Amino acid sequence: MIQKKIIGLFVVIISSAIVSCGGTTSASPQETYAYTDDYGTTSDIPVHPQRIVSTSPAVTEIIFALGGSHLLVGRTDFCVYPTEAKDITSIGGISNLNIERIVSLNPDLVISGSMIPKKSTLQMEKMGVPTVCVIEQKRFEGLYDNISKIGTLIGKNEAADSLNTLIRKRLDSLNTQSNAETKSVYYVVGYGASGNFTAGGDSFINDIIRLAGGKNVAENSSGWSYSLEELLKQDPEYIIIRREDSATFCRMAPYNRLRAVKEGRVIAIESGLIDLQVPRNIEAIQFIHQRLHP
């Protein structure tokens, strides 16, 4: 009888020890590590995040491309690709982040992008939400880095390596560095009364045009503003414009005097292929290349 009591007491002690040490009967705190993001901010983030909020359409798209969509519990109103992203709870816009809504989703990691100011990421950090920023890079090559960064953050390193390899292979297969004549190109970001805006030479969009076999007439400019007088002077052979803006642009003076418009060389493209730094940029390169060099 005494022996049975001793054994029973021993079992109780062992069971208690297992609970206190984080055994199977009690969940242990998630392991974290120090990560320094593109703003230079160092945060302790989980090794294996299970509840992620994305505040960037580009980040959301890359997470889907890496097979990590099941980890997403929140996204912005602008995170609409792929279409399955619309099924994820929205936390509102980008310029006016609803931080309280983000916190209510109980995320263990928030990944933001270039359009989110640093003060917003710091505010979320102060509220106990691990937040890192993966910003848009100026060169097309930066896409590979961002895919790798996000792969590391969500535990999809192998998938990131495979995706980068695939993009490189598709780019190599285009053979855009051929003897084909380079075409002059202008990409319309904004036009009309509010001003003329395009992608200058210090942008990944400029690289997309170059890789597609075009020469950006604004490659010597920096930033986004471009003068109407210079556009009319350059009179590019091809115009690239968002699909939804194409018809209005072609009807509007003085743009309708451009030879690309008069001769039907306006390339209307899905904005998500070129405006965001995402894996689908390779589709933009292929799409533009096929039209510049049919």
SS3 content of the chain, % helix, strand, coil (to 5): 45, 15, 40
Residue 24 has pLDDT above 90, yes or no: no
Distance from C-alpha of 58 to C-alpha of 277, rounded to nearest angstrom: 6
Residue 74 has pLDDT above 60, yes or no: yes
Phi, psi (degrees; rounded to nearest 5) at 162: -65, -40
Amino acid, single-letter form, for residue 56: S
Amino acid, single-letter form, for residue 181: E
- Dihedral of the alpha carbons of 75, 78, 79, 83, in degrees to the nearest 10: 120
If pLDDT is split at 50, 70 and 90, which confidence band does 121 have? confident
pLDDT of residue 12: 36
Name the percent of the chain lying above pLDDT 70: 88
Domains contained in the chain, CATH given: 32-166 (3.40.50.1980), 178-292 (3.40.50.1980)
pLDDT of residue 13: 34
Phi, psi (degrees; rounded to nearest 5) at 142: -65, -20
35 vs 176: which has the higher pLDDT: 35
Rounded to two decimals, the pTM is: 0.86
The whole-chain average pLDDT of the chain stands at 88
Helix (H) or strand (E) holding 286: helix 281-292
pLDDT of residue 5: 38
pLDDT of residue 175: 66
